[in-house]
Structure 1
Amino acid sequence: MKGKIIKLLGIFLLFNILMGSAAATLNVIVVTDPSGQDPNGFAGGSMSFAQNMFQSTFILSKEHHFTILSGGEGEAVPRLMAIVDAINILKNGGTAQEAASAASGYPGIRIMCGGPGRGAAVGGSFDAYVVIVEDDGTIKVTPYSGGLAVLPPGKKGAIIHLRNTHGNPMYGTASSVRKEVAIKIGKMIRDGYPATVIVSEVFKDVAKNAGEKYGGGAVNVASGVTTGDMFTPANLNETGYPMDQPYAKVCPHCGWSAGYPTAENYQVCPLDGTPLKTIYAYDALRDAITVSESAISVSVYGSDEAGVIQTTREIVKATVKEEGYSEEAIAKAINDAIDNGLIIGVNYVEPKDINVKPGSRAVGVYYTPLPDDRTAPPMDLPLGSGFFEILGDIQTALGCVLLILLLFRSTLISSFRR
């Protein structure tokens, strides 16, 4: 853990040097099963209108089952120090309330954290609602501003913080949207929706109605699953993926899919002609963190393009469903997609580039980006280069003969006449 913290410190310091500080403006934690028995009962996430959401998404400990969401208007280094304090408290068995309290020692910083058996809490600089849903269905929604707000261990409920980023065209909407979404969360908890589904609904509503719409990402704390880099910016000084926009198109019949922007070129499935279903980013977030018996976790390395990542995920899922966890079958399906132009900018993969873990229903795909902005790898022709050299020599010789015939055309005709 100490090594990870030091590494994180280095990353944060680098970001602070290269760019202005960025902070999440939406932090949310939803608890539908405080015990952690439900694999989808404890989830959270962050997003913002701001750029550079690398440093303001989430930290997830799969070993200790807690998450830390950060934000605020303070600088990156103090925020990092508050995060380190919170990590140490939670790692050593502390409650969410104790960990979130660490933010009070750093001006302008916010820490929201929690985990099964720990409850949830937000501390420091924030404008939030705490939602508590009793076993009889009673919903209590309470506003808090700064200091410390707690969802006690053992309680179903949520904490949602929301502010608007300066420059957001929908600036001024955060106060009303924060309240509306908090009430909706309470109703969804009462009605039995899992935490992972509720978090995706929060992302949808906040993105559409408050404009704080760029990923960011989300975590399933109970099961140790995250959206990873699905929605975070690919480069410095960029915004993440807009969570209210289309993310992929999927064939509801065979499972074929393509991620945006590639998906813009397809209206029907190229395999069977079925009209394609549009998957929005908040839908993709929900599917990525919601665990089921048939769910497959697919991690993509070597490409930051949303279209490549989403298309690869869908191809892998469809292949595993048909062929099982076969490196050879997955590699073949991916290479077919590259040949058909569904995946661009990466080289062909081999079975050794596919890492499968059937026990945890996980697949890793390792791409090698193509050089010089090429979109497709070179053709794998069945004939060697020597054949084409010989063919070129023959063509050159024939060309010379034709040239000689052309130059001596009149002389040759005269000779034939005689």
Structure 2
Amino acid sequence: MSDALVLGAGVVGMTSAYALARKGFKVTVVDAAAGPAEAGASFGNGAQLSYFYTDAMASPSLVANLPRYMLGLDPAFRISITPSPAFVAWGIRFLANATQQAFERNTIDILQLAIESRPAIAELSGKVKFDYGKTGKITLYSNKEGLEKAKALTKLKNQFGADQAALTRDQALEREPALNGYGHDFVGAVWSPYDEAGDSSRFCRNLRELLERDYDVDFRFCLKIRRIITRANSLVGVETETEQLQCSSLVICLGAWTPVIAKTAGIRLPIWPVQGYSLTIPALPSAPIASITDTARKTVFCRIGNQLRVAGLADIGNNMGVFNEERFRSLLATAKGMFPKAGDYNGEVNPWTGLRPVTPNSKPIVGSTKIKGVFLNCGHGSLGWTLSMATANKVADEISLSTHA
């Protein structure tokens, strides 16, 4: 019997396995894919470690733009209403979190998790190679209203440990000369000097080697999970397509698929998938060194080694991650218009789409459940890579306390 079974081998599951193994647990990781970070958001995410850009999705500005998003007038953000009761319930809770007070509270709560995660990821960078870069990040704003709101939020976040600075347009150009070749105008920016970057897929693959070598962690790939087996509100094990796995503790880290599996144990979770896209191309000499986030176009550019990762789009509705060629072409056209000389768009373009597991308040769900022995580490939205070590340590601490109680 394994001391701890981790469902999911994305970045959240892999860091959970690492945190548990370091506490002395015998850990087994189960995933339906053929290897770590092959099926979900960890494979092709934006690559940014956004420790200080932790803005919650639900906000007054998003509500103000809802008609545009619902009518398909914004190429970067689309919302299609679905009659699903789960979607309606999620949407109501999402809107309740869109007040200015809730937005600020949620943003600061996520910020504090990100600050906890940063030193732990830096420590792991000495053990696991993943094109780790201390690049900093520049967030661009296309109008004065958006910039002034960002300045106010920056001032608030800096009171809670962030270290951001507002930049004029000229200061941003001085900070990142590649912006001289930017295809759109902007009025100013926010500089996050301690934000970082890395390849989360490579991180997961190399972390697997470390876990197998140093901690004897067992990996079970190509094993599809059917349900969680419980008896009298206590964990019994997990049923897969081919066998039943026994365990004393279980951590569900299945990203957007977590609600489906958790429901088999009677656990209902307010998580809805938000589909995004990315492309990876060879970086050219004129590519930016710092990570770039364009708030107007909801697109990020990030160097990972000699590659350039471009990620963006947010589609909310009744989807389960089916690749939409038209949406990908929209991202590709946007990228070419923003940084036409940053990457080799005519060379090998590696497309990706995936689902970000978003909660109404954008905060991850971490900890115990009503079922004894079943724990959650899920709902990270677009910040799973950033928050992974903080939430992994939290769930491992809770499991350790419950085991020794």
Q: TM-score range by the shorter chain?
A: under 0.3
TM-score by length of 1: 0.24
| Greater radius of gyration (CA) | 1
